[in-house]
Structure 1
Amino acid sequence: MNEIEDSHSRKPFRIAIVGGGLGGLALAIGLIRHGIGVHIYEAAATFSEIGAGVAFGPNSVRALGPTDESTLRGYKKHATFNEGPKRQHTFLSLRYGMGSCNGNGKSFSFSKALVSVGEFPGEESGVNDVRLHFIDRSTATASAIVGCDSIKSKTREAILGNIEHGEFINIVAVRRKNGATWEDGQWVVPSTKDEMLRDFGSWHPAVTNLLSHSLAQEEWALFDLQHSAKYYKGTVYLLGDSAHASTPHIGASAGMAMEDAFLLSSLAGAIRDQTELEKAFRAFNAVRRPRTQTVVEYSMLSGFAYEFMKDDVGDDFSRLQADISARFEWLWHEDLEAQLLKARKLMG
């Protein structure tokens, strides 16, 4: 068991944090800032990258600064933002990946959009010929290629390589297997490229082409934790995913942990001694449980919507955009200071 301990305690009590993930570390930073001694207990030997990525919406970012300004500076240093003014305010874009009930998924015609170029030995000339690979999975051969395909030239990539700045593509493909249960004791298990292509073989060639080039294949279980129980008992409290784990469909888990850390560290910083800890936990639970359990529900509903399984939305893109946007609006535009004020009033 790894342990991380601070050495600048001013309050007459200490808090043990079990787990050194994003929520645990953010809470520790906030508590230390308020003069509270902390001790982090983490089972993993090292920190490593887990999951598909971390999405921080505006609500998450707003929680970082009041928790500790250095945390916000670290986030801004390492966060990846959309490039270019066209996508500056884009959080999510949707594309049909396969046939749909209303036919829209079959209406796209990509014709002969070039994907890649390769060489192979010519049978007659003794020199290499070239093969063109198109997005519709067809190919063509020629002795030479002249690229006249504008500024976004795929032909240019065959000469110069990928001149864009992206170094890594992270792909998450979700398939709901109705009636199936997760039997494996591990939450992440090895998969194969063949299994991925079998599950998503009917999708658009642009999608299956990306999957076929993936270097790592894993299968993940998606769980959530929707319940009506309170998050604490006495002076033992649950924070982040341990209390309100949600599926990744609105990218809210990390953000909820940041909100939790801000609120709990602020409340703990306002109390005088150990006897008031349960009072702080009680107020925190009253404020945080309704919002975080709504996140669990909204993430589940968004998953159904993305998969065209929500009855009042189906595969109508205009309805889908409105349905999902409403949940993001609710998620992102929360007044954290108002939450804190309400919790402080409940503490008396």
Structure 2
Amino acid sequence: MSKKESHSTSHEEQFEIAIVGGGICGLILAIGLLKRNVKITIYEQSQSFREIGAGVAFTANAIQCMRLIHPGIVDALKTVATSNGNPDDPNDYLQFADGFNQKEDEESKIIFKLYAGYRGFEGCHRAHLLDELVKLVPDNVVRFCKRLDHYVDPGDEGKLKLYFEDGSTAEADAVIGCDGIKSKVRRILLGEENPASYPTYSHKSAFRALIPMDRAASALGDELARNQRMHLGPSAHLLHFPVAHQSLLNVVAFLDDSTERSYSSRLSEPGSKQEVVQAFASWGPTVRTITNLLDDEMDKWFIFDTNDHPAPKYASGRVCIAGDAAHAASPHHGAGAGIGVEDALALSRLLELVTESMEKGGRASKQEALTAAFAAFDAVRRERTQWFVGSSRMICNVYELNNAETGNDMDKIYEEIKWRSHKIWHFDIDGMLRQVEDQYKGKLDGDNIPKSML
């Protein structure tokens, strides 16, 4: 990690934000706030920054959000990102194939594809991206081994107090929970007895693996191995795309799982190649070839999300939640991290507006300004992000020919995937920024802040 000094301002109304959680969303938010001279401290429960899972991808729209947060984030992504196909002439399409009905003597055929924009699908390994983002965060703003137990809001102009499981405490003017799908901040904010405080099981499991590209290309051919492909079929689907500068093929196989699991269950466990091979035994030869490339032992992930019990609010007073802590989605749109980046941009702009309000010496107190900022975030971000959670569940059924509206009609499947993907990819970033500014300024009137936010 770099030894840069953290940004700060000497203004007497300076405020400090506690970011709980140091994953990709928390780090990107931290980088955005530091750039805007907002004082922050990151509280991470692990001994070091780490990311679980393997591949992650970002669309052109998400990358533009990164650029607006801090251009260095885009530079970090480009250092580790891998585009489809030839890096000098990237394939800017997401491609969908019928993985089930392929005959033995046929090549895997694309049934339709979607243009995602120039370099509109940048894949990378989560841990590699995290390593690059860490370089943009000063050492002196991070506290490791800090697992939040609870926080206390004094309800006046005083600071919030955070209590950690190791017995230590900290203070901050506001708290942002970026602590993921099992968010402790969400549980405190919504209440331990609220079903929305906990993720629920989607009854889908995902087997994740990384295959050396030379092995993949030898078995599948360069064109297929080095380009993203979604293989559709009955009650399962399989996705792959290149990562690590085309040196690895990231493979994810999605299967039904009828078992009941609670939020306190482990999110993953060791899985076996045999389980995947057996599940796809009746599929076409391309998918069977991919499953035979898998290692004997691999990770099996259980997919939880917040679809069944959406959070009724993302903020209360000077506490809010963002990213997976607010709206964890199943991964079937491949855009959950990008939606979290949108959150980080919205919060970066809102807290920049708070700084501007304090510097102008407006009538609102620091507490009122921070409360208004988080209320504006809730007002602007909740509808889109909760639509995304529901759409991520629904699109899985489309991929697996289980949706009543689309069935196995490939024309209908294409149209459903197209409009939902475009709603995610063609998001009006400038419009969101105007909305958060308008909402913030309106809520500074006081009467416009819902009582539930105070």
1:320 maps to 2:319: no
Give the equivalent residue in structure 2 for 1:213. Answer: 293
Structure 1 residues 270 and 6 mapped into 2: Cα distance closer, same or farther (>3 Å)? farther
Q: Counterparts of 1:1-348 in structure 2 under 5 Å? A: 7-10=6-9, 12-84=14-86, 88-91=91-94, 93-98=95-100, 105=101, 108-110=103-105, 166-177=246-257, 179-182=258-261, 185-215=265-295, 216-226=297-307, 227-271=310-354, 272=358, 273-348=366-441
Q: Give the CA deviation at 1:154.
A: 6.4
Q: Give the CA deviation at 1:339.
A: 1.1
Give the equivalent residue in structure 2 for 1:150. Answer: none
Q: Give the CA deviation at 1:96.
A: 2.0
What is the number of equivalent residue pairs in this alignment?
291
Q: Give the CA deviation at 1:222.
A: 0.8
Aligned equivalents of 1:307, 1:52: Cα separation in 2: 23
Counterpart of 1:217 in structure 2: which amino acid? M
Q: Give the CA deviation at 1:111.
A: 6.5
Q: Give the CA deviation at 1:225.
A: 0.8
Structure 1 gaps, min length 5: 99-104, 114-152
Aligned equivalents of 1:315, 1:339: Cα separation in 2: 36
Superimposed CA distance per residue, residues 249-304 of structure 1 (whole angstroms, 9 cap, x where no aligned partner): 11121111111111101110111234310100001110000010011011111111
Counterpart of 1:110 in structure 2: which amino acid? D
Structure 1 residues 241 and 209 mapped into 2: Cα distance closer, same or farther (>3 Å)? same
TM-score (norm 1): 0.77
Aligned equivalents of 2:249, 2:72: Cα separation in 1: 29
Aligned equivalents of 1:304, 1:225: Cα separation in 2: 17
Give the equivalent residue in structure 2 for 1:117. Answer: none
Aligned equivalents of 1:71, 1:154: Cα separation in 2: 34
Aligned equivalents of 2:378, 2:348: Cα separation in 1: 13
Aligned equivalents of 1:48, 1:320: Cα separation in 2: 37
Aligned equivalents of 2:412, 2:67: Cα separation in 1: 35
Normalized per residue, which structure has more strand? Answer: 2
Compare 219-228 and 306-315 and name the one that shifted more: 219-228
Superimposed CA distance per residue, residues 210-256 of structure 1 (whole angstroms, 9 cap, x where no aligned partner): 22221241211111113150101111110000000101111121111
Aligned equivalents of 1:270, 1:49: Cα separation in 2: 31
Superposition RMSD on alpha carbons, in Å? 2.8
Q: Give the CA deviation at 1:72.
A: 1.5
Aligned equivalents of 1:41, 1:258: Cα separation in 2: 19
Q: Give the CA deviation at 1:5.
A: 10
Give the equivalent residue in structure 2 for 1:132. Answer: none
Structure 1 residues 301 and 86 mapped into 2: Cα distance closer, same or farther (>3 Å)? farther
Counterpart of 2:7 in structure 1: which amino acid? H
Superimposed CA distance per residue, residues 127-169 of structure 1 (whole angstroms, 9 cap, x where no aligned partner): xxxxxxxxxxxxxxxxxxxxxxxxxx969x9xxxx9x984212
Structure 1 residues 345 and 111 mapped into 2: Cα distance closer, same or farther (>3 Å)? closer
The answer (yes or no) to whether the contact 1:13–1:274 under 8 Å persists in 2 is: no
Q: Which has the higher Rg, Structure 1 or Structure 2?
A: 1
Q: How high is the sequence identity, in percent, across the aligned residues? A: 33
